[in-house]
Structure 1
Amino acid sequence: MAGKRGATPATYSPSLTTAKGKKKPPIFTDDANWVRSDGRHFHQCRPAFLRIATVNSASGSAYAEFGNTKVIVSVFGPRESKKAMMYSDVGRLNCNVSYTTFATPSRGQGSDNKDFSSMLHKALEGAIILESFPKTTVDVFALVLESGGSDLPVIISCASLALADAGIMLYDLVAAVSVSCLGKNLVIDPISEEEVYQEGSFMISCMPSRNEVTQLTVTGEWSTPKISEAMDLCLDACSKLGNIMRSCLKEPLSAPEE
């Protein structure tokens, strides 16, 4: 591996106060003091551990560790598109998501990869200045080393860092955060055990500096108050995660590992 950046885990939990400094009244009060299995409260995210330049053979790369969720992304290109492809005055983006066979005890290597690859492409495409590399292709390969919950948001955020590390021109970094609905409660950045019991999921990927959403995914039945609360939580957390990601890119490389 190359040198490290962003070697200190950083938190990015959404704020529980309003712009005027007043505490936000919780919409759902049942079991308000309940603590999650990993010790977090409902609106507390896992610390984010980020590195870039982790794969020497790639144009750009990044490693992300959010709790037990561990992902590495490699970016190759821009490189000449295959001759079979028709001419295009904008660049092409290819995304592939795969899992190691040991990522989880119950999840096979091929499970959900196609859907995740498509969703990763959708989340990133709107942030990339495709006109900056016409007639060429950028390939993004994401490998989930360990699946600990909220896999796709971690993949998207990590891939965005890898693209920036590769020097691909972006309108902004893409940060992604998800929320699970468990009964009357909303829990942010859910772990695998929570996703198993969730009645609905909500994920946003956005460009924090531009305040633009690149992808919104909702499953299950949601009331208007719940979906509004979920959106506020995710956007606030995305903004803070975006700051951590930018800090990771600005930190100097440490000495290469032996």
Structure 2
Amino acid sequence: MAGKPGTIPTYNIGPAESTKSQERLVHDGVRTDARHLLECRLAFLKTGAVNAAAGSAYAEFGNTRVIVSVFGPRESMKAQTYSDVGRLNCSVSFTTFATPIRGRLSQGIEHKEYSTMLHKALEGAVMLNTFPKTTVDVFALVLESGGGDLPVVITCASLALADAGIMMFDLVTAVSVASIGRDLIIDPISEEEDCQDGGLMVACMPSRNEITQLTINGEWSTTAVSEALNLCLDACRKLADIMRVCLKESATE
């Protein structure tokens, strides 16, 4: 199933500041991958990618490729007291060939950081009370890192949970925006992330208009944060539509 979150109406950020990074990454408002500043990558989504899992999904956004497997609900292997709510475990890992520098992300703290952020993004959407004293395990594997890895992981994991039949308040979608000079660039690739002055990522439940996670780094003005947030929320709503179409298509197969 192929889809495109869409080209979002351009915001006039202000007079362009000429920098070496901008000149290299953007020419006449067109990026190195032929997208406009506020245009998301083509999104390819597919469920049922792993037969042995209770649910699974594959996501491809440009050169970023992710596969997620969901197992459970199943009884926790760890001894624990009875709880009225279930437990959600999340793990994110990278293949040794995910980046041009072999093994760069195959080990290290970034996996733990991504795993924690994935859990925070999904926890508020999953109805944990529907599987008390059991655990749902979410395993995400980044096959290729092409930029915007975490938003793709979150989106793909939400789709895999839905495929597994895990009860959720809503699908969770995630989109990021990079600030480079006076420009806002949505759904950045690796080159753009390396040159950004600041980054902002939003994970949300579009139908409920609720944000499950918001991360900001770098330098931002109040106006730029507001504009970037609106861009992300708009793109998240469009991405959710693509996810729903994917689930409907898989249900009819």
1:93 maps to 88
Give 1:83 deviation, angstroms. Answer: 4.4
The corresponding residue for 2:43 is: 48
Residues 1-258 of structure 1 aligned to structure 2 (within 5 Å) = 6=1, 9-13=2-6, 15-16=8-9, 26-30=12-16, 33-106=28-101, 107-111=104-108, 112-252=110-250
Alignment-mate amino acid for residue 59 of structure 1 = A
* Aligned alpha-carbon RMSD (Å): 1.5
Give distance in 2, aligned partners of 1:250 and 1:29.
44
CA contact 1:202–1:230 (8 Å) conserved in 2: yes
Count of paired positions: 241
Distance 1:182 1:25, change over 3 A: closer
| Structure with the largest fraction of helix | 2
- TM-score normalised per structure 1: 0.90
Please report the TM-score for the alignment, with normalisation by the length of structure 2: 0.92
CA contact (8 A) 1:14 1:234 kept: no
Unaligned runs of 5+ in 2: 18-26
Q: Distance in 2 between matches of 1:105 and 1:15?
A: 31
AA matched with 1:173: L
Alignment partners' CA distance in 2, 1:47 and 1:180? 18
* Separation in structure 1 between the aligned mates of residue 215 and residue 28 of structure 2, nearest angstrom: 28
Q: Percent identity?
A: 64
Shift in alpha-carbon separation, 1:217–1:14, aligned structure 2, 3 A: farther
Corresponding letter in the other structure for 1:73? V
Structure 1 ranges of 4+ moved more than 6 A: none
Secondary structure of the residue aligned to 2:227 is: helix
- Unmatched 5+ stretches in structure 1: 1-5, 17-23
Q: Deviations over 1:154-197 (max 9, x none)?
A: 00000000000000000000000000111111100000011111
